[in-house]
Structure 1
Amino acid sequence: MAELLWKRGTTLGQGSFSVVSLASTSNALFRGCFSIVEILRMFKHSPYIIHCFGANVSFENNVNLYNLLLKYAFGGSLADLLQNCNSLPEVEVKKHTKNVLLGLCCIHNNGIIHCDTKPGNILLVGRDKTAKIADFGLSVTLEQGMNQKQGVIRGTERYMAPESVINTEYTPQVDIWALGCTVYELITGTRLWEDANGDDVLDKIKFEEPKFQNSKLSNEAQDFLEKCLVKNPSSCWTADLLLNHPFLKKKSGSMSLLHKPIQKITFKIGNHKFVRQLPNPTNR
């Protein structure tokens, strides 16, 4: 097994379970051995998912460190962007939302659920600051999501979907709910359930309807959120459908050429075949 040679540099940030550092490399031959790397390899050709070069284990300061070598996002995350300017112009949010949806289409069509979509996990890469989905540490397959009912809650509280909080149920719709929370936050500068913390947030997610009326939201943006923040997951729009929502279309009203609306989706888990009927995107 060829090893990717690299050297750790300046620490960029630190989360609950990991540290992010700059690194320099001298080759790119390493074949990773972690499941998260295998997931990322599935999306190596997607321009809307952070690129992973490989992984390894290093022993530093008497501690084993599990290292993922990722594309450097010098633009930071959408969370960083919000800290600097409080809220973003709607036209900029549309650009980022479209890129995230394209990433989610790729993820969901490959049978994966991200489970932690939020501003902090959407990185801005390159000179044009393309939004790319990162941090697949909580991701599950569709099959795992259907068999998840073991009391394990995945994700970040404020962005969790009702079905994951109530039943620990995970389908692609949990990512769509989280995207809705993210879009609301980017445009308004206010988090959904802003008046609650900790367990109070989970109680509101369980028992209350989200209130996302805000003067900063256009009619199209509010309607887009209504298609994402649906407490009944079977009524939630898919990433494919949302790409054709008027919120993301040009003002000319021309149809988006990115994705063609679909009316149903079929997927198979084990010996079971599932067919899900989708709402007509023209029925707003």
Structure 2
Amino acid sequence: MEFRKLKFLGAGANGNVFLAAPCRPCDDLVCPSLFAVKSANCLSTTLKREKMFLDELFGSCYIVECFGHNVSIEEGRRVYNVMMEYASGGTLKSLIESRGGRMEEREVAYYSRMLLLGLSSAHKKGIVHCDLKPDNVLVFPREEETYHLLKIADFGNAKKVWEKEMHEPGRASNHRGTLRYASPESVMYGIHGKPTDIWSLGCVILEMLTGQRVWGANSTCVEIILKLMLMKPEIPEFVSNIGTDFLDKCFEKNPEKRWTISMLMRHKFIDDNFSCDVRFGGCRTNDYSDIDWSFSLPQR
């Protein structure tokens, strides 16, 4: 599909993002009138891996949708382009900032459920995101709805659960993605399994609840690593008991004891703030088809 880039939206570690439109009207319903294009040097493999993961996850209501790819010549160089959904609401980071502080727990619980369902879609395919953070969650405003639709994006650091880890002894950190949202095992041992995404989810939820970045906005990389080794993120007293308990399950230091998606979906923090008659972007919120229920739920 031929398109024209209309506006620069932002730059990331794995490419630049533009607002784009097709050069000619599309009869295909899959082709929207406006979409986002992520572009990177054709020699880069990261964006191509991201496209591969998005193709595997096509159809998930809570993962950003990919429409295709092409190669263009721009300023004499070959550029690899991936066409994706355009999120007019920006990112979860901008949504948090627009609140001017913390969000209400009910809203946070709704968004947490969407993120759990998105992660479940990925984990069911054996994909670990490895870089879940507010910047990588897109916001899709919905008319006549109380809350927005959230979709997980940016799978440039993702991996398959069976991929070998490249742990380098002596390195300060062996993690993928953004250090601030990284799990202890990923930083200290270079281990990136499904529990890694759960820790990152806890960091995102804490940021929604407090309006503050985990580990403190001004912490250096060394300070964050030391804090990861010695403590858990601090949960303020104004967070409810069930909210605190939910976060404690995400921030379990031992990844083998950290709660799974299926466990967290049944936690009171989700259940007590969830109304089954609400629809999210055409997907019923009581659709549990993506959830692996094979894990037993510990007594609370």
Indicate conservation of the 8 Å contact 2:111/2:150, yes or no: yes
Tell me what 1:158 maps to: 180
Q: 2:66 aligns with which of 46, 52, 58?
A: 52
Per-residue deviation, 1:95:
1.1
Indicate conservation of the 8 Å contact 1:165/1:202, yes or no: yes
Q: 1:8 aligns with which of 1, 5, 8?
A: 5
Matches within 5 A, 1:186-201: 186-194=208-216, 196-201=219-224
Indicate conservation of the 8 Å contact 1:162/1:231, yes or no: yes
Matched, 1:140 2:159: yes
Q: 1:76 aligns with which of 82, 85, 90?
A: 90
Matched, 1:250 2:247: no
| Aligned residue pairs, count | 260
Per-residue deviation, 1:258:
4.7
For 1:244 and 1:21, locate their aligned partners in 2 and report how far apart those are by CA, in whole Å: 39
What code does the residue aligned with 1:209 have?
A: M
Most deviating of 181-190 and 10-19: 10-19
**For residues 223 and 56 of structure 1, do their structure 2 counterparts lie closer, same or farther at Cα, with a shift above 3 Å needed?**
same
Most deviating of 120-129 and 174-183: 120-129
Q: What is the DSSP-based 3-state SS (H/G/I as helix, E as strand, rest coil) of the residue aligned with 1:35? A: helix
Tell me what 1:42 maps to: 56
**For residues 214 and 36 of structure 1, do their structure 2 counterparts lie closer, same or farther at Cα, with a shift above 3 Å needed?**
same
**What are the ranges of 5 or more consecutive residues in structure 2 without an aligned counterpart?**
32-46, 169-173, 277-284
**For residues 87 and 37 of structure 1, do their structure 2 counterparts lie closer, same or farther at Cα, with a shift above 3 Å needed?**
same
Tell me what 2:40 maps to: none
Most deviating of 155-164 and 8-17: 8-17
Indicate conservation of the 8 Å contact 1:122/1:132, yes or no: yes
Tell me what 1:131 maps to: 150
Q: What is the DSSP-based 3-state SS (H/G/I as helix, E as strand, rest coil) of the residue aligned with 1:233? A: coil
For 2:93 and 2:18, locate their aligned partners in 1 and report how far apart those are by CA, in whole Å: 18
What code does the residue aligned with 1:150 have?
A: H
For 1:181 and 1:60, locate their aligned partners in 2 and report how far apart those are by CA, in whole Å: 39
Tell me what 2:113 maps to: 98
Per-residue deviation, 1:252:
9.1
Matched, 1:181 2:203: yes
| TM-score (normalizing by structure 1) | 0.84
For 1:45 and 1:211, locate their aligned partners in 2 and report how far apart those are by CA, in whole Å: 34
**For residues 187 and 60 of structure 1, do their structure 2 counterparts lie closer, same or farther at Cα, with a shift above 3 Å needed?**
same
What whole-Å deviation, never above 9, does each CA across 1:242-284 have from its counterpart, x for those lacking one?
1111001136999x955478353xxxxxxxxxxxxx5x24x12
**For residues 217 and 50 of structure 1, do their structure 2 counterparts lie closer, same or farther at Cα, with a shift above 3 Å needed?**
same
What whole-Å deviation, never above 9, does each CA across 1:186-216 have from its counterpart, x for those lacking one?
10112221162222112211x2121423133
For 2:274 and 2:152, locate their aligned partners in 1 and report how far apart those are by CA, in whole Å: 29
Tell me what 1:268 maps to: none
For 1:64 and 1:161, locate their aligned partners in 2 and report how far apart those are by CA, in whole Å: 36
Per-residue deviation, 1:55:
1.4
Per-residue deviation, 1:66:
2.1
What code does the residue aligned with 2:255 have?
A: P
Greater relative contact order: 1 or 2 (C-alpha under 8 angstroms, separation 6 or more)?
2
Per-residue deviation, 1:34:
3.0
Identity across the alignment (%): 33
**For residues 140 and 20 of structure 1, do their structure 2 counterparts lie closer, same or farther at Cα, with a shift above 3 Å needed?**
same
Indicate conservation of the 8 Å contact 2:124/2:292, yes or no: no
| TM-score (normalizing by structure 2) | 0.80
RMSD between aligned residues: 2.4
